[in-house]
């Protein structure tokens, strides 16, 4: 399986651009907030480890993962000086098919934001079968997907900058 055998927090620092000039937005869903706070810390720490200063990180909260779509869209519109945005959520299977619709909806919505707008939005939404899988991927045995997302945000910010010249 993609994550098993790998650690989401490990990365080759020599392959990560210096991010001290970049500005990032982070939109965090409050559903399963024990998980999403862990993901936020992973992303925040990864940005800081690579030179980002606190003043260049703006955070908004939204109720659930489905609202990440609107929150990220408004952040793209409100903060056009941002270099990348990270969308953080934790969706855990319940008794019904609601999980399927939330996961598909947020996936398609964030994809659309990347297609329609110029600020890249990084998909840091866990879609897990149970709580343990979420714990394992937000600072547990498989590392922290938030860290992975922070590094992806830096790399996409650099790609966007390079693409302008």
Backbone angles phi, psi at 146, to 5 degrees: -65, -40
Q: How far is the CB of 78 from ligand LW54GNZ2 (least distance, A)?
A: 21
> b or e along 18-33 (b: 16 or more beta carbons within 10 Å of the residue's beta carbon)?
ebeebbbbbbbbebbe
Cα separation, 68 vs 77, whole angstroms: 14
Reply yes or no on whether 98 is catalytic: yes
Q: How far is the CB of 106 from ligand LTPLIIQW (least distance, A)?
A: 10
- Per-residue binding letters, 67-96, with ligand LW54GNZ2 (x by CB under 6 A): x---------------------xxxx----
125 contributes a contact to ligand LTPLIIQW by CB under 6 A = no
Would you say 60 is a known binding-site residue?
no
* Catalytic residue (choose from 20, 74, 98, 161): 98
Any alpha helices (H) in the chain, and if so which ranges?
Answer: 33-49, 68-78, 98-116, 131-136, 145-162
Q: Which residues are catalytic?
A: 98
- Contacts with ligand LW54GNZ2, residue ranges (CB under 6 A): 29, 31-32, 63-67, 89-92, 102
């Amino acid at each position: 399986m993609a994550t098993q055998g790998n650690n989401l927090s490990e990365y080759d620092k020599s392959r990560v651009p210096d991010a001290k000039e970049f500005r990032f937005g982070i939109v965090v869903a409050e559903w399963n907030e024990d998980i999403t706070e862990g993901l936020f810390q992973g992303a925040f720490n990864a940005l800081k480890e690579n030179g980002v200063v606190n003043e260049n990180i703006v955070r908004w909260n939204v109720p659930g993962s489905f609202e990440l779509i609107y929150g990220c869209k408004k952040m793209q519109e409100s903060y056009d000086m941002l270099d990348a945005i990270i969308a953080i959520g934790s969706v855990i299977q319940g008794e019904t098919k609601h999980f399927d619709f939330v996961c598909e909806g947020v996936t398609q919505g964030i994809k659309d934001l990347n297609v329609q707008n110029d600020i890249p939005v990084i998909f840091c939404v866990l879609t897990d079968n149970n709580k343990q899988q979420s714990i394992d991927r937000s600072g547990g045995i498989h590392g922290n997907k938030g860290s992975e997302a922070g590094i992806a945000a830096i790399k996409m910010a650099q790609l966007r900058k390079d693409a302008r010249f």
